[in-house]
Amino acid sequence: MEITDLEKDGHSAIGSYQMGSDTYYYWNTNGQGTTRYVNLNLPENRAVGIAAATGDYQGTPTGGLRWSTLAVTNGYTS
């Protein structure tokens, strides 16, 4: 997963995925123009929900997440 902060808006970029009942959040807190690379190493042929959002990191996976910015799509791993 690549989480790129495109906007100079004072908020962090967040990438997230859900597989089964587990949801994981990855924050890029390094500012506009930076990308965080995360090797997810997921099993093949599984349904997965992928999301992007912005937030103000508060030290926990969802602390500071701006829920109104959450955009979700569904797909499958390959």
For CA atoms 8, 11, 17, 18, give the dihedral sign. Answer: negative
Average pLDDT over residues 59-77: 97
Helices first, then strands: H and E counts in the chain: 0, 6
pLDDT at 53: 98
Q: The pTM is what? A: 0.94
Q: How far apart are CA 46 and CA 42, in angstroms?
A: 8
Q: Please report, rounded to a whole number, the percentage of residues in the chain having pLDDT higher than 90.
A: 99
For residue range 40-66, list pLDDT tens digits in order: 999 999 999 999 999 999 999 999 999
pLDDT at 65: 98
Average pLDDT of the chain, as a whole number? 97
